Chains A and B, each alone.
Chain A
Amino acid sequence: MRIPVEWIKEFVNTEADAASIAETLTMAGLEVEETEQSELGPVLNIKVTPNRGDCLSVIGIARELASAECLELKLPAGGKERRWEDSSELVQIEAAELCPRYVGRVLEGVRIQPSPKWMQKRLVAAGMRPIYNVVDVTNYVMLETGQPLHAFDLNRLSGRRVIVRVAKPGETMATLDGEERSLSETMLIIADDSKPVAIAGVMGGANSEVTASTASILLESAHFDPISVRRAANSLSLRTEASYRFERVVSLEGVRAAADRAAALLLEIGAAQKITRSADIYLKPASTFDITVRMSRAGALLGYEVNRAAAESALHRLGFAIKAEGEALSCRVPYWRSDVTREVDVIEEIGRVLGYQRIPERMPGGAGIPGRRSRLQRIAAEIRTILAACGLQEVVTHTLQAPPMLDVEFWNQGQTVPVRNALSAELSTLRRSLAPGLIAVAQRNARRGESPLAFFEIGRVFRMESKNFTETVHIGGLATGPLIPDWWEGANPDAGFYQIKGMVELLLNRLGVSNLEWKPPNGEHSDKSPLHPGRSAAIWVAGHYIGWAGELDPALEEVLGGIRHRVCMFELDCDIMQSARHRIIVNPDISKRTFIFTPPSPYPSVIRDLAPRVKLEMPYSELESSVIQAGGDLLERCEPREVFTGDPLPPGIKSVTLSLTFRHPARTLTDDEVRASVSRIREALEQRCDAVFPS
């Protein structure tokens, strides 16, 4: 809200300059975001928090300033306190719940012309456009008091009166902005005998608008239910200065004063000749209430001993009526403070006026409990360390994404979760996989000429299965081009399936997940499958699918502009992976540590190589499992050393060199033992894998 300092000073006699007023208000909770210059001098742009509807006015701000600076607030001379008159010929309320008070004033002898310069200047400085005298006065008084006002052309009201009621089905009305609005039965409206003439608290109708030929007006000052106004404004997507204030609660008690102030101003500036009729229908008078505030409680919450006299004086300046009540104060809440409803609210007021800078710094006592990371934070830290050590840069990508472009999902269970009110199509679903985000990062960086590219991300993904949402943590990685960049001494090999597999194996091994099964990807391959069918795998652990790894399909690579190398990726489900850990080294709960170390054997190992020739299709895993089964306890390790095809081997045959390590835990092995084991392994390979050994 923009308020000229000069206007504030009409109500508070202060010598302070704009900067110091801005500082005072900011420290009282009314943040001055900036100070602008205007024809009337400095204008404060004040951010009023949604609980302080009473501060959406010059008087409200002036009151805060006066209380903070211990000055007197000078209010404009009000009319004499009169009882409200029940003039149902002029105003009739049919929805008392939504409109407990309505003040109407009929002014005649209206002469529409521009308002006086002083008024126009203040309106402009406050960011409003002067129109003509009647409208300017309603705006001026709204800015001054916070009470929105409206003026109807009385002669255009059929029956020359207004009825406050909810809209009837099918009713429509053109608002002042020229839009034809259809009204719903939940909307509170102002009507005349035949038609709606305003949407209560939101905007008036064109059909009763004051025009250059208007001779008499009905001035409206009313209290409308905040929720009702908010819903109407929301459903019409029509936010106005009036609706903004009604949503934030306009006080019941100020309704009449604002009407009187506006009427007096209209007469004063010659916009009207006389007040001829008036109504003040006040169906549910505001109840006053008292709150008991214990000084001891104030001290306990604010953290310092509160001086009773200082508290009393602070509350008094804010408009509270105080009575002593033993150790406590009985505080009557001023009618404009709808936000103050219980003891703690008053304590906040005391703290606010005394200044938050008074609050001392202290560290809480109580039993010292050691802090700890969450389970996810612990494993995520382990994962990050490992993947960063593999050379992958961590990235953080968007959760909100375009609908998946691929028919076959990386993660094929469930459905993508759509956002009902998306900002744009590109942000209209929740990611189901980290892969699209990682690919997009690779593309963007490739376009900028970055190479090689190797990233990982730990993030949440979402799925919907029959109206249930699942949220899981995934780990995704991408590498394209050589992992170690080419340099002046020579080029390095590009990352491929085996590099990415190696990283996944290292990661899972370090996390204590073993016995991985690398299975061919599921399902039929189509041109829309994201992964290369011959260079990708589904990863299983103990009967659970935990993720996938592989190279992107050539068809997809063609779509990905800018990336020159093969793209290798992996994605793992962190939650399943975590439950598959069989070896947990680090856990604050010692009973969950399931790892006991093995002492390294002091005895030497014996290494033997075998080079079976097998059919090209024979998977290495078959060779390895045959070797391990036949090798017995003495076999410590079996590793492939070379896979060879081509001349001099016949087509369809490969030679796999296996390096076998034997060791006894308690003594040095004998030659005979090793020889016997190797020959068992040879036989097993011959029988189970149709292996042939060159003589």
Chain B
Amino acid sequence: MDEIKNVVDAALTETEHATTIDNLEQVEIRYLGRKGEISQLLRSIGKLPEEERPRYGSRINEAKERLAAEIKRRRADLKILERRSRRESERLDITLPGVPADLGRLHPLTQTTERIIEVWTGLGFEFVDGPELEDYEHNFAKLNYPPDHPAIDEQMSFYIDDTHLLRTQTTALQGRVMATRKPPFRIATIGRCFRYEAVDATHHHTFHQVDVFMVDEGVSMADLKGMLVAFAREMFGNVVKSRFRPDFFPFVEPGVDFAIYWHNRWLELGGAGLIHPNILEVFGIDSERYTGFAFGLGIERIPMIQYGIKDLRYFLDNDLRFLRQF
């Protein structure tokens, strides 16, 4: 009878001393396996007298169950210990920098452009693209610039040949649209412009503009103001103050300079006004029935104001240390 107790005691001791799951599995096989010591005890049951067998059998089964339970418990403990030690051994210096995972970023001019597109499409404007290599007609003549007018001096151009130039203003699209569409329409365009200018912190021969115009019945300066103020609020926040001031551009009458109040001074955002009736009439639009407004502004101006960028040259220099900040 002590035979069983001896085996069980030895097995329990070994179970308790197993320090890894592997150890424990060996203990399990040694005692509970098909050829294990408990099985051998069971096999020796035949040597016992008939009447002792049931008691002996049930004792072995009890021992087997007890051992299995102990092993199970020990396994659970060892699992916890193993996890604990794995956690310890896998500890990292979390202050080391992560593996650089970098997205490319969009150029700040693109980010501004996207925002502008969002605002004007939201106001019901359709964006249309025009050519950068324009003709004189669309860039000037069709916009009510009289030939040889000093107003052209503000828009010194790069000429390609006698009739072609690099557009000096995205307003050049107006004629292209009016030649093919009948009012009402709400059109916007955004893109690159060029002027014959020496480069410094606030002037560049290459810059970007957005131009917005609509023609419909009953469009007035009040509609222009409402739209521009809405635009300024979307770009610079609800509290921004706006100002309309008389200005002159050949393609509008009345003409407007649109400014916002920023850090204690007025900053011009762009030029605007009601589309000159001469232009509507050139395209066969009844200028008594229809009126329209037009508005244009430089894209660079917006991030310069928003982010305090003092030098226009950053935008086309593509210094990664600049671009990565946006």
Chain A positions within 8 Å of B, measured between CB atoms, are 26-29, 31, 49-52, 226-227, 230-231, 247-248, 300-304, 342, 344-345, 347-348, 351-352, 356-357, 359-377, 381, 384, 387-400, 417-423, 427, 430, 441, 444-445, 448, 450, 453-456, 460, 462, 469, 471, 484-485, 487-489
- Bound-state CA distance A273–B163 (Å) is 56
Report which of A26, A370, A460 forms a contact with B245, defined as CB distance below 8 A. Answer: A26
Is there contact, CB below 8 Å, between B147 and A356?
no
Closest CB-CB distance, B8 to chain A, in whole Å?
49
Chain B residues, CB < 8 A from A366: 184, 216-218
Q: Which of A248, A360, A363 has the most CB of B within 10 A?
A: A363
CA distance A105 to B139 in the complex (A): 45
B254 at the A interface (CB under 8 A): yes
Judging by beta carbons under 8 Å apart, are A348 and B253 in contact? Answer: yes
Contact A422 B158 (CB under 8 A): yes
CB-nearest residue of chain A to B99: A487
Pick from A303, A454, A455: contact of B222, CB under 8 Å: A303
Q: A363-B226, A368-B124, A419-B158 are in contact. Are A400 and B106 (CB under 8 A)?
A: no
Q: Which of B46-54, B73-81, B191-199 contacts A (4 or more CB under 8 A)?
A: B191-199
Q: Is B303 an interface residue (CB 8 A)?
A: no
Q: Is the CB of A419 within 8 A of B160?
A: yes
Q: Which residue of A lies closest to B218 (CB)?
A: A300
Which of A50, A301, A371, A421 is within 8 Å of B153, CB to CB? A50
Identify which of A381, A396, A397, A484 gathers the most chain B CB atoms within 10 Å of its CB.
A396
Q: Is B323 an interface residue (CB 8 A)?
A: yes
Say if the beta carbon of B56 comes within 8 Å of chain A. no
Are the C-beta atoms of A399 and B225 separated by less than 8 Å?
no
Interface residues as binary, B45-66 with A (CB distance below 8 Å gives 1, 0 otherwise): 0000000000000000000000
Q: Contacts A29-B246, A49-B248, A427-B205; is A359 near B221 (CB within 8 Å)?
A: yes
Residues of B within 8 Å of A369, CB to CB, are: 124, 126, 184, 186
Our pick among A344, A389, A454 for the contact of B254 (Cβ within 8 Å) is A344
A448, A460, A485: which has the most chain B beta carbons within 10 Å?
Answer: A460
Chain A neighbourhood of B277, CB < 8 A = 342, 344
Residues in B neighbouring A485, C-beta threshold 8 A: 100, 102
A372 to B250, CA, bound (A): 29
Our pick among B131, B217, B222 for the contact of A359 (Cβ within 8 Å) is B222
- Let me know if B104 and A389 touch, CB within 8 A: yes
Docked-complex contact A364 and B114, CB < 8 angstroms: no
Q: Do A52 and B229 have beta carbons less than 8 Å apart?
A: no
Q: Which of A52, A356, A367, A421 has the most CB of B within 10 A?
A: A356
Chain B residues, Cβ within 8 Å of A231: 148
In the complex, whether B103 has a CB less than 8 A from a CB of chain A is yes
Q: Which of B10-18, B26-34, B36-44, B313-321 contacts A (4 or more CB under 8 A)?
A: B313-321
Residues of B within 8 A of A345 (CB): 253
**Contact pick for A423, options B123, B154, B198, CB 8 Å:** B198
Contact A487 B97 (CB under 8 A): yes
Residue of A nearest to B101 (CB): A484
Structural contact, A372 and B218, CB atoms closer than 8 A: no
CA distance A230 to B102 in the complex (A): 57
Instruction: Determine the distance from Cα of A397 to Cα of B107 in the docked complex, in whole angstroms.
Output: 11
A303/B225 in contact, CB under 8 A: yes
A27, B259: Cα distance in complex, Å = 12
Residue among B96, B126, B160, B198 with max Cβ neighbours from chain A (10 Å) = B160
A230 and B256 alpha carbons, distance in the complex (Å): 27
* Residue pair A371, B104 in contact (C-beta under 8 Å): no
17 contacts between A and B (CB under 8 A): A27-B245, A31-B257, A50-B150, A248-B150, A303-B223, A344-B254, A348-B253, A360-B226, A361-B229, A377-B190, A381-B114, A388-B104, A393-B324, A394-B323, A398-B206, A417-B133, A421-B158
Task: Point out the residue from A356, A384, A454 that lies within 8 Å of B106, measured CB to CB.
Answer: A384
Q: List the interface of chain B (C-beta within 8 A of A).
A: 96-97, 99-107, 109-110, 114, 117, 120-129, 131-133, 147-151, 153-154, 158-161, 164, 166, 184, 186, 188-190, 192, 194, 196, 198, 205-206, 214, 216-223, 225-227, 229-230, 243-248, 250, 253-257, 274, 276-277, 291, 315-321, 323-324
Instruction: Identify which of A384, A400, A445, A488 contacts B319 (C-beta below 8 A).
Output: A445
B110 and A384 contact, CB distance less than 8 A: yes
**Shortest CB distance A681–B (Å):** 39
Output the nearest chain A residue to B114 by Cβ-Cβ distance.
A381
Closest to A249 in B: B150
Q: Which residue of B lies closest to A247 (CB)?
A: B150
Min CB–CB distance A393 → chain B (angstroms): 5
Q: How far is the CA of A367 from the CA of B97 in the complex (A)?
A: 56
- Listed from nearest, the 9 A-B pairs whose CB atoms lie closest are A303-B222, A29-B246, A371-B121, A49-B248, A303-B220, A348-B254, A388-B104, A356-B244, A50-B150
Contact of B226 among A301, A362, A388, A488 (CB under 8 A): A362
Q: Let me know if A395 and B318 touch, CB within 8 A.
A: yes
Given contacts A359-B222, A359-B225, A381-B114, contact A399 B194 (CB under 8 A): yes
On chain B, the residues within 8 Å of A384 by CB distance are 106, 110
A351 touches B206 (CB 8 A): no
Minimum Cβ distance to chain B for residue A433 (Å): 16
Closest approach, in angstroms, between the C-beta of A253 and any C-beta of chain B? 21
Residue pair A488, B96 in contact (C-beta under 8 Å) = yes
Q: In the assembly, what is the distance between CA of A112 and CA of B109, in Å?
A: 61
Q: Which residues of B contact A230 (CB under 8 A)?
A: 148, 150
B254 near A455 with CB under 8 A, answer: no
B299 to chain A, nearest CB (A): 11
The CA-CA distance from A422 to B103 in the complex, in Å, is: 38
Nearest-CB distance from A539 to chain B (Å)?
A: 21
Q: A347-B254, A399-B194 are in contact. Are A393 and B323 (CB under 8 A)?
A: yes
State the CA gap A444–B123 with chains docked (Å): 41
Q: CA–CA, A248 to B248, complex, Å?
A: 13
Residues of A within 8 A of B102 (CB): 391, 484-485
- A439 CB to closest chain B CB, in angstroms? 12
Give A335 to B118 CA distance when docked, in angstroms: 48
**B186, B219, B223, B291 interface centre (most CB from chain A within 10 Å):** B223
Q: Which residues does chain B contribute within 8 Å of A417, judged by CB atoms? A: 133, 160
Q: Which residues of B contact A489 (CB under 8 A)?
A: 99
Chain A residues near B321: list those with CB within 8 A.
448, 450
Would you call A441 and B226 a contact (CB within 8 A)?
no
Measured between alpha carbons, how far is A399 from B134 in the docked complex, in Å? 14
Extra contacts besides A52-B248, A230-B150, A377-B127 (4): CB < 8 Å: A362-B222, A363-B227, A388-B105, A399-B166
Q: Which of these, A364, A398, A455, contacts B223 with CB under 8 Å?
A: A364
Q: Given that A351-B254, A361-B229, A362-B223 are known contacts, is A397 also in contact with B196, CB under 8 Å in the complex?
A: no
Alpha-carbon separation in the docked complex, A226 to B150 (Å):
9
B186 touches A371 (CB 8 A): yes
Given A302-B221, A371-B121, A356 contacting B245 (CB threshold 8 A) = yes
CB contact between A399 and one of B128, B206, B222 (< 8 Å): that residue: B206
Cross-interface CB contact of B104 among A365, A396, A397, A456, cutoff 8 Å: A456
Q: Min CB distance, A373 to chain B, in Å?
A: 5
In the bound complex, residues from chain B placing their C-beta under 8 Å from that of A430 are 133, 160, 166
Q: Give chain B residues whose Cβ lies under 8 Å from the Cβ of A347.
A: 254
What's the Cα separation between A241 and B124 when bound, in Å?
Answer: 47
Taking the closest CB of chain A, its distance from the CB of B154, in whole angstroms, is: 7
The winner among B100, B256, B276, B318 for most chain A CB atoms within 10 A is B318
Query: A247, A359, A376, A448 — which one has the most chain B CB atoms within 10 A of its CB?
Result: A359
User: Knowing A230-B150, A363-B227 touch, does A301 contact B104 (C-beta < 8 A)?
Assistant: no
Whether A301 lies near B291 (C-beta < 8 A) is yes
User: Contacts A50-B151, A441-B318, A444-B319 given: A360-B222 contact, CB under 8 Å?
Assistant: yes
Of all chain A residues, which has the CB nearest B127?
A: A374
A366 and B250 CA atoms in complex are apart in Å by 27
- Cross-chain contact B103 with A391 (CB below 8 angstroms): yes
Determine whether the beta carbon of B127 is less than 8 Å from that of A471.
no
Known: A364-B216, A388-B105. A469 touches B246 (CB 8 A): no
With A363-B223, A460-B192 already in contact, the answer to whether A421 and B159 are too (CB < 8 A) is: yes
Q: How far apart are B50's CB and chain A's nearest CB, in angstroms?
A: 57
